[in-house]
Structure 1
Amino acid sequence: MGFRFRKSFKIAPGVRVNLNAKSTSVRIGSKGLGYTISSTGRKRVTASIPGTGISYTETIPAKRMAPEVRAAPQESPSKAKKNNFLPVFLVLLAAVIGIGVASNED
């Protein structure tokens, strides 16, 4: 059994600071769409539909070495870069559900 330390502070609407034993992070955005920057250098973009458990997270790893030192990855011409439309789809779906719920409340 271990001991964990976690604390979260709301600074402003849509801005939250999260503290734990090893790092600190700042989250910018609402429940459905957010951007998180960690003290370890990791960046994360999250799109979700609140209340459903459906979410998509894309993590950008921390850059530990200078760009000049790191070798650039070699991409073969046969591998085309895929467009990932899942985050856009989730945001649009959340907006449509939110508009539907708001119109039903009136």
Structure 2
Amino acid sequence: MPRKKLFEPLSVLPDPDAVKSVAAEQGFDRGITTDTQNAKIPNMKPLPTERRKPKRNRTGRDAQLNLKVTPACRTELEAVADKNNWGLGETLEHLLAYWKKTRID
């Protein structure tokens, strides 16, 4: 048994004026053109020409450390980092240095 075709290709394109009038009736009349060679997409933003600066600081830290912490601990660590304008790795380094300096053996 032959397969049914879901879609039949259009042998004749619709009349451009008819398309324009239907589009105008439905409220899609702005920016419609029948000139497909020079058609512009409405509301299209131009691509940026210059690259954005990376948001991350290059610190030389390249070892990864994954930790399981409580949400409260993470919030506190991020608060310290944000307050001092540090990354999380730098914050950990400062906290370890402080701990070494103040601990009593």
The normalised TM-score by structure 2 is 0.24
Structure with the higher fraction of residues in helix conformation? 2
Structure with greater Cα Rg: 2
Say which structure, 1 or 2, has more relative contact order (CA 8 Å, 6+ apart).
Answer: 1
